[in-house]
């Protein structure tokens, strides 16, 4: 491919939460046109099947197995693009949410390789849809915190007092392995042990599992429910099917009846 030297490009693409049909139409089209797909470990085979003609390079960082250094992934993307390849760098969920995006953009920019970012459905959104809860709700929470249980230094520190406040709502990535730490920190900061926590394991995948727990019973409640990750913990939220709710339909107005009538 030496004759195409310099014509390469990289699309950094969100693969969505796992279900093959929860990636975007743009992501699907980019995969179909890709010559090489450089992907993370969590990207599902169902998604990779959209790129049947591409060479696939798994640069997943497995907890125990052989591991790619981030600098090597950066260098790989640059090498492939410089050789003229159409590269899709496929990241699970959305590239901008816990995706190590900056390192790769820096390397591509430094090498003068053109790139675009294609956003995706991040796991928290799929988890909430599966648990049938909204992440924000009028009169309940007008803000949402997105956080990670782990960062480069191990367990991640956060503004525990704010997270422990009544009504605080958070979507926690990489939280299952940090569940004991999260419970300890939040209770020490004054959180109510009966604060609901919804765990959604493998959101949107065939092996999806949703478990209702309370903060004070982490991590045991997750273990009992068979939640092992990759999971999202939704702090402050109960799965809809576990929560009591009001059921008082209000009378439709004339406008609603007319619009329905027009269709019927």
Shortest separation between residue 45's beta carbon and its own copies, angstroms: 16
Buried b / exposed e over 160-199, threshold 16 CB at 10 Å, is: beebbeeebbbbbbbbbbbbebbbebbbeeebeeebbbbb
CB contact set of 130 (below 8 Å; sequence gap of 6+): 200, 203, 204, 208, 210
Buried b / exposed e over 73-83, threshold 16 CB at 10 Å, is: bbebbbebbeb
User: Nearer to its own copies by C-beta: 171 or 221?
Assistant: 171
Shortest separation between residue 48's beta carbon and its own copies, angstroms: 15
User: Nearer to its own copies by C-beta: 159 or 180?
Assistant: 159
d(CA 126, CA 149): 18
Shortest separation between residue 132's beta carbon and its own copies, angstroms: 6
User: Nearer to its own copies by C-beta: 142 or 223?
Assistant: 142
What is the DSSP code (8-state) at residue 19?
Answer: -
Residues classed as catalytic: 40, 61
d(CA 115, CA 89): 10
User: Nearer to its own copies by C-beta: 77 or 213?
Assistant: 77
CB contact set of 174 (below 8 Å; sequence gap of 6+): 98, 148, 149, 150, 229, 230
User: Nearer to its own copies by C-beta: 158 or 183?
Assistant: 158
Shortest separation between residue 262's beta carbon and its own copies, angstroms: 8
Shortest separation between residue 91's beta carbon and its own copies, angstroms: 11
Asked if 182 and 210 count as a contact pair (C-beta separation under 8 A), the reply is no
CB contact set of 137 (below 8 Å; sequence gap of 6+): none
Q: For residue 207, give both structure tokens.
A: 């092996």
């Amino acid at each position: 491919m030496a004759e195409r030297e310099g014509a390469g490009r990289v699309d950094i693409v969100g693969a969505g939460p796992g279900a093959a049909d929860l990636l975007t139409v743009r992501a699907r089209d980019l995969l179909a046109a890709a010559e090489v797909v450089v992907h993370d470990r969590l990207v599902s085979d169902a998604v990779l099947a959209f790129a049947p003609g591409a060479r696939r390079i798994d640069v997943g960082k497995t907890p125990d197995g052989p591991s790619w250094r981030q600098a090597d992934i950066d260098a790989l993307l640059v090498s492939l693009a410089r050789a003229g390849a159409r590269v899709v760098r496929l990241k699970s969920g959305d590239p901008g949410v816990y995706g190590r995006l900056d390192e790769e953009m820096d390397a591509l920019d430094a090498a003068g390789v053109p790139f675009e970012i294609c956003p995706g459905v991040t796991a928290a959104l799929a988890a909430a849809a599966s648990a049938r809860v909204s992440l924000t709700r009028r009169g309940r929470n007008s803000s949402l915190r997105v956080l990670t249980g782990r960062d480069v230094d191990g367990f991640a520190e956060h503004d525990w007092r704010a997270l422990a406040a009544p009504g605080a709502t958070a979507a926690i990535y990489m939280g299952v392995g940090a569940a004991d730490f999260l419970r300890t920190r939040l209770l020490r900061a004054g959180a109510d042990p009966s604060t609901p926590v919804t765990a959604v394991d493998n959101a949107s995948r065939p092996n999806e599992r949703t478990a209702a727990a309370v903060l004070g019973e982490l991590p045991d409640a997750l273990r009992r429910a068979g939640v092992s990750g990759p999971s999202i913990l939704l702090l402050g939220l109960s799965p809809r099917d576990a929560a009591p709710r009001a059921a008082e339909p209000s009378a439709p107005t004339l406008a609603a009846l007319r619009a329905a009538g027009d269709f019927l």
